[in-house]
Structure formats: structure tokens, C-alpha cells
Amino acid sequence: MLLFCPEEYAASPMERMSGLDASFLYFETPNMHMHVVGVIVFDPSTAPEGYDFERVKEMLRNRLHLVPQFRRKLAPIPFNVHHPVWVEDDEFDLDYHVRRVGCPAPGSERELAELVGDIASRQLDRSRPLWEMHIVEGLQNGYVASISKMHHCTIDGVSGANMMVHLFDLEPDAPEVKPTEEWKPEKTPNDFERFAFAMASRMRRPLNVAKVVPQTLRAVTSIVQRRRSGASGMAAPLTAPRTSFNAPITPHRKVAFATTSLAEVKEIKQTFGVTVNDVVLTICASALRRYLEGRNELPDKSLIATCPVSVRGDDEKETVGANRVSALFTTLATNIADPVERLNVIHEANKGAKEEHNAVGADMLQSWAEFAAPTTFSLAARMYTGLRLAERHPVVHNLVISNVPGPPFPLYFAGAKLVGLNPLGPIFDGSGLNVTVLSYVDNIDWGFIACRELMPDLWDVAGAIPDAQAELLKAAQSVASN
């Protein structure tokens, strides 16, 4: 009975991977990379001992024990009967994961973005812990950057922000952090042990199905009742208009950045009685509208965005690693010319979308993902890409827009002050653009990543962001003065 007894594995060196985490592995293809990227720019002039690459690497080495995800790797289950598990890498090599690179002259954000796009275009090695950090020297103003790439099966937006707590300090001369004892990896479980662990987990599936099916039926009933009553809800997937970036994607990535004032966004929010997320979506919608107008392809129907939503409970907010996300579909009202009217439409649509999302249940996506079959889902993803099905059916959604609150106070990395923080999420077949927004101190940093062949002029979108925000701010100030 040992084979099917979960209690026997309570102290196992294996860590179970959730179905949602595993789904990011299954849906990954040579063209559709499921990693997230963080581009962080530092001012080394604040470092008491100056900048030194070896010192940075040693600082990271001393903090590895605080982020165990850095030293764990995937271990497949024999015959793919269940999701892979996490095990400690007994051959962990920090030199492989932390690399030193130079930015091409003159080292502006354009050259940095080209370097980021190249790094983001390559998949992570699944035989090693699923992360890389490239330390970039040669930037303007003497700045240094880190380009961190981590697989989405390990991290989401909120847990990524939490990870910064362990890698960064609150002052440039923070005391050194060192492990209290030498790290020794636990023995890697053999095939039989992993198979037994997986089967113990599968034994709980019938119980999980008995819970999920009734929850799903109640959620569907609730949505139908809401719609019949005339209440607004989420934008319907598969109803988005097709644009030039809604097509099959290649492995190649294009990256662009923008930075705007957080105080201005809050002023717009306060004046019009909306949320920060409403303002962010409206600014993004205005920039996309200008981009599409410039290409003579602005559709009559509004673009539809998918917005990831954190479903972490209060007891999980400090958790590092793993995904606790859901998603909602919302209109961007790009068919409306007036920015204030567009903001109000987005605000009302988001209220309805959130209410409907709550009716569905925060854990619905997480629960159903547990039943994903590794082999079936991986083959389906490759078939979808290989047959270019993204251009044969209606557009599911036009793009992903993610808004994550960041730290309102300065952070330091090996004594160097963090001066810019641009996150980048994955893009999907049929949806070749991702916009990720993160606040930091007084700024909002915007990260844009797209399929290079579909959006070679991505900087046109990023460049329209400041003007779109200024347009809304002017309208807000006009209202406040009347």
C-alpha cells in the first residue's frame, strides 16, 4: 500500500507542481515561449564599494537559500502519468545562470531593448533550474542592468514582486546576508519514487472532480442569470477583431519600454472616480488606437484584452513562486474616439467583468487545470502552432495587459539604486502582443513585448503612451478647474 499512501511522502524531497503551473509547460512550443522577463536598471554610483560583477554574483550566491526556486529543477514522472515535480538540482552551477554581457553602443534604452528581445527569443533549458540572469554593462550614464528570465511555471506577477524582497535591499549599505549553513541538495528521487508520488496524487482526483463539477455548474448558472437580468459582464472571447498582430507567431521577440508619472495616473483616477487599472487600460487603448490608425487598420469593433488577476488570499500574499492567477476579458473601447468617454466605458465594463469573475470563482481556472494531461496538452499545443490554426478561427483576444503594483520605496541591488523596472510577459499564438505595467516609487514602467515579424514598429506603441496619458491628464485638469 506504500505506492498509494500520500502520507508516506510528507517529508519527500519532491515538491508537487500544480496543474496551472504545469499548463505553462504543456502549452510551450518552439515559437510560444512561456517565460517572463524582468529588465531592471541600476545606478551603481550609489554602491559604497562601486560596481563589480563578481561582487554581484557573490551577493546572489549568498541569498540563494532565500529563494529556493533558484536551485530546483523539473523531474518528469515516468510515462507522463501526472504533472512533473520539483527537485533540488544536485549539479547546480551559478555561473551558468548568471552571465555578464555588454550592451552595444551607445547603450540607450533602444540598444538595451534589442538585447532583451534577443534573450527573450530563446527558450530556457529544462534540464536545469528554469531561470537566467544577464548582467548588462555599458549603458548610458554608467548604469548597469539585469535581464532576468524565469519560466512562468515558477512565477507570476505578484510572486515575482515578492521575490524582489529577498534579492534587493532598502538601503545601499545594507548588512551582508549569508546562509547559516552550507547548502547540500537532497537526493534526487528515482523513477519509482516519482511514479509513486504521482499516483498518490492521482488518487485524490475523483474527490477533486466531485467538488469542481458542481462549482462549475453553479458558476455557469450564475452567469446566465446575470446576463438575462441585463447586467454587464466580461467581454466574450472569440469576438475580438483581427489586427496585424493577431496571427501565428514566430520565436523572435521585439521589446520596447515607456515610463510615465504615477502621480498623474492617480490624479486622473481621483478626478474621474475610476481605478488605477481603468486608467492604465485606457492609456494603453489610446496608444493602440493611434498605432492602428497610423497603419490604416483601426477596426470598427473594440479590441479585447485579457487581464491576469491575482487570486492569492491574504495568507498567500507574501508567497514566492507558483501561480495563483485567473483572468478576465475586457473591452478596450478602441472604437470610441474621446478618451474620457473611453475611460468611463472601460470603468463600467471592468466593474461588470469583476462581478462576473467573482461569480465564476477565483479558483475555477486553478481547479480545472489540475486535470490537464501532459502528453495530450503538449501535442495539442504543437499541432495548433504547426497547423497555424490561430489564423483560421475567430480571434480569442487581441493582447494581454497585466498591471502589477510595485514597491513605493527605493530598492538597492548590491548597493546600486534601482532606477527602472520593466516587466515583460509571454505572448501567445494569435495574440502577438503583451503589455505589462508595474509601478515603482513615483513612476509607472511599461514593458512591451511582441512577435518581431508582426510588430517591427513596436516602439510606435510605446512612444504613444506618454501622449495618451497627457491627453487624459489635460481632460482631468480641465474638469477639476471647472
- Mean pLDDT, consecutive 10-residue stretches, the chain (482 aa), reads 34 75 90 95 95 95 92 90 90 97 96 98 96 97 96 77 81 90 88 82 58 60 57 82 97 98 98 97 98 97 92 52 74 97 96 72 58 71 85 94 92 95 94 96 97 98 98 96 85
Say what the pTM is: 0.89
User: CA 308, 314, 319, 324 torsion: positive or negative?
Assistant: negative
Q: Which segments of the chain belong to CATH 3.30.559.10?
A: 2-200
Alpha-helical regions (H) of 295-338: none
Per the CB < 8 A criterion, the answer to whether 111 and 137 are in contact is no
Residue owning grid cell 516519482: 194
Q: Can you read off the three cell numbers belonging to residue 382?
A: 504543437
pLDDT score, position 150? 94
Q: Can you read off the three cell numbers belonging to residue 375?
A: 502528453
DSSP 138: -
Q: Can you read off the three cell numbers belonging to residue 196?
A: 509513486
pLDDT score, position 79? 81
pLDDT score, position 6? 36
Q: Which residues pair with 88 in a beta bridge?
A: 72
- C-alpha span between 433 and 254 (Å, rounded): 10
pLDDT score, position 482? 81
- C-alpha span between 239 and 395 (Å, rounded): 6
Alpha-helical regions (H) of 361-386: 364-369, 374-386
Contacts of 446 (CB under 8 A, 6+ apart): 257, 258, 259, 260, 422, 435, 436, 437, 462, 465
Judge if the upstream peptide bond of residue 407 is cis by omega within 30 degrees of 0. no
Q: Which of 82, 97, 152, 347 is catalytic?
A: 152
Catalytic: 152? yes
Per the CB < 8 A criterion, the answer to whether 229 and 30 are in contact is no
User: CA 15, 18, 19, 23 torsion: positive or negative?
Assistant: negative
Judge if the upstream peptide bond of residue 410 is cis by omega within 30 degrees of 0. no
Residue 86 φ then ψ, to 5°: -95, 135
Q: At what angle do helices 276-294 and 339-360 cross, to 10 degrees?
A: 120
Q: Can you read off the three cell numbers belonging to residue 425?
A: 510577459
- Superfamily, domain 2-200: Chloramphenicol acetyltransferase-like domain (3.30.559.10)
pLDDT score, position 365? 53
pLDDT score, position 469? 98
Q: Which segments of the chain belong to CATH 3.30.559.30?
A: 232-410+424-481
Q: How far apart are the first and last CA of the chain?
A: 77
Query: Reduced to 3 states, what is the DSSP secondary structure of residue 259?
Result: strand
Tell me the CATH number of domain 232-410+424-481, given options 3.30.559.30, 3.50.50.60, 3.40.1350.10, 1.10.490.20. Answer: 3.30.559.30
- For residues 189-198, one letter each, b for 16 or more C-beta atoms within 10 angstroms of the residue's C-beta and e for the rest, the string is beeebbbbbb
pLDDT score, position 166? 84
Alpha-helical regions (H) of 229-303: 262-272, 276-294
